[in-house]
A and B are shown apart, each in its own frame.
Chain A
């Protein structure tokens, strides 16, 4: 029983990286902008967060710096694709490659540095509860932040006027423009918010799950987060669940091995990806479902007055 609790614990902890990044990407995409640069933003933010935490000794400042770095990089991307109408796919890919190289370049002196020893996280009282304590109340604060942010974004999307406007722009920017809304500025804001969340995801890796910096630290999680937004049909709560599912399957296969269960580890390593493909295949069977959920103007530039 206790082992199950520990398994849930690791699944939530490792799913949080994906949850934060996917939530950020979902905000961009709901506004109609596809940012394939997630991996690059996560890496640059990871190194920024790590450097800040190293210099100041404060993880909180590290997360703030990472969010700022992610948002700054996203802003550059936003200026290019929203105001200069560059191709979103190509620009996003370029951002990923740039972020990879740039983070490696500026991070050279950070390699091999270590942060102050990490603590075992635990909430007072609650973490002492049997089963639920180790499973749900022994996490780094960012795990709960990710949950809270998901709820906040869902509320914003579906319960606020601004959220409605954002989604409307993602569906079709012309009417919003005709009504006098600054479509491109709103899109830029959404892209920056997405970058900030990807930044938090990057720093979560470099400060919490693998407290160190090396080139390529995030090991492709930005790409998985991109797939998760489709997996979640652009809904925040589903993105969170998808992230935990992915984290859970990954951890489960490690756990089965540690248990000595005799299944090919290669097969087990494929599991999370197989799960993703199966879910994608299932939801894609219903074309109307995808069409209804996918922001209609996703990836299309908006030229006011054209």
Chain B
């Protein structure tokens, strides 16, 4: 069980790394193939049948996990669908962190121009291989280490969580929301806080209860956590774990919940309020195109969210009142156009301390190290010193 937890955590970690790796891969095309990208460039399409650009993806899970790796593979397929025979994509699934370096090196030596490693834990392996293959570009998802031929990419899941919070705040009858959380890392804390802030924007009385399951994936445990939250009065739940168990537990109890990472509406027709999804394809397409016209640059960190089409809240249930739906959609539009920043001061921590001054918009550095609950979230963080 612990192994599972560890592997899931590392999967995410690797996913982050993967993004960077992808970027890196994009950066360093194989030396025999530089003309191929050029063929894509408008001006100098030289010979007949240019060599397709080879791109590779590494997944921590199986592509059939209906969650994280599945979403990345959808992005890969979108690239293939749009670029046709100008690209040749391959993927390797279920690559453990221990095998990461070997697989990345294999892919680099097989003539791939760009390699996307889609979990945080691949980070150091990818950085190492990037040093050995300066002509290959490496793109690593969710990590933070970069190089001349290695980029990092990520998504803004808290955009979705905020919009879901608005819906949750309007639908709750007990003013108590529940969150089934995986690990106390900034990404997850951003989601818990954004969910709570969104709900408070329509209902100031909102309290959020959090249960940490310390795993990305354990359907039975996730379901039990959801049940406990419901037993304690929570009637709208969100999770950032991988299975549909939370949603199904809500359905069984006649409560509400959301889908996470992919469209989960079919799992719980009565409980499903909306699905929070991530779409990696805009970034993958952009990266491949930048390789084709030689505009790829290394040392870049790209975090896309709602404005770039990377995150979205879809399938808002028909039974959500029209007025509430409009509020959620207005917020979505605001996030999309940039007029609404989820983390805008004053933001007060659950300890009463001000974390962001009035009318200040949080910058990336602030978001990178969120280590507190906002006011309204109950309990203490697992990492807090007593």
| Interface size of B in residues (CB-CB distance below 8 Å) | 53
Report the Cα distance A255→B217, complex, angstroms: 19
A264, CB-defined interface residue at 8 Å: yes
Q: Using A3-B232, A214-B65, A215-B64 as known contacts, say yes or no to A118 and B251 having CB atoms under 8 A apart.
A: yes
B252, CB-defined interface residue at 8 Å: yes
Interface 0/1 of B369-386, CB less than 8 Å to A: 000000000111010001
Q: Are B380 and A6 in contact (CB under 8 A)?
A: no
Residue in A210, A258, A265, A266 whose beta carbon sits within 8 Å of that of B231 in the complex: A258
Shortest CB–CB separation between residue B231 and chain A, in angstroms?
Answer: 4
Which residues of chain B from 261 to 300 have any CB-CB distance to chain A below 8 Å in the complex? 262, 266-270
Contacts of B213 in A (CB 8 A): 254, 269
Q: Using A17-B220, A112-B66, A214-B65 as known contacts, say yes or no to A120 and B1 having CB atoms under 8 A apart.
A: no
Q: Are B66 and A114 in contact (CB under 8 A)?
A: no
Q: Using A251-B224, A254-B213 as known contacts, say yes or no to A118 and B1 having CB atoms under 8 A apart.
A: no
Q: Are A108 and B382 in contact (CB under 8 A)?
A: no
Contacts of B232 in A (CB 8 A): 3, 255, 258-259
Q: Are A266 and B214 in contact (CB under 8 A)?
A: yes
Contacts of B224 in A (CB 8 A): 10, 13-14, 209, 250-251, 254
Interface 0/1 of A253-280, CB less than 8 Å to B: 0110111111011100100000000000
Q: Using A3-B231, A214-B65, A216-B4 as known contacts, say yes or no to A209 and B223 having CB atoms under 8 A apart.
A: yes
Contacts of B215 in A (CB 8 A): 219
Q: Which of B79-87, B120-128, B144-152, B204-212 contacts A (4 or more CB under 8 A)?
A: B204-212
Q: Are A212 and B243 in contact (CB under 8 A)?
A: yes
Report the Cα distance A17→B1, complex, angstroms: 14
Contacts of B229 in A (CB 8 A): 258
Report the Cα distance A258→B225, complex, angstroms: 8
Q: Are B66 and A262 in contact (CB under 8 A)?
A: no
Q: Are A258 and B266 in contact (CB under 8 A)?
A: no
Q: Are B243 and A257 in contact (CB under 8 A)?
A: no
A205, CB-defined interface residue at 8 Å: yes
B222, CB-defined interface residue at 8 Å: yes
Interface 0/1 of B187-220, CB less than 8 Å to A: 0000000000000000000000111111101111
Which residues of chain A from 80 to 104 have any CB-CB distance to chain B below 8 Å in the complex? 104
B142, CB-defined interface residue at 8 Å: no
B302, CB-defined interface residue at 8 Å: no
B239, CB-defined interface residue at 8 Å: no
Q: Using A219-B1, A265-B214 as known contacts, say yes or no to A209 and B219 having CB atoms under 8 A apart.
A: yes
Report the Cα distance A262→B209, complex, angstroms: 12
Residues of B within 8 A of A (CB): 1-4, 61-62, 64-66, 178, 184, 209-215, 217-225, 227-229, 231-232, 234, 242-245, 248, 251-254, 262, 266-270, 378-380, 382, 386
Q: List 7 A-B contacts (CB under 8 A).
A: A14-B224, A117-B251, A214-B64, A214-B217, A214-B219, A257-B210, A258-B225
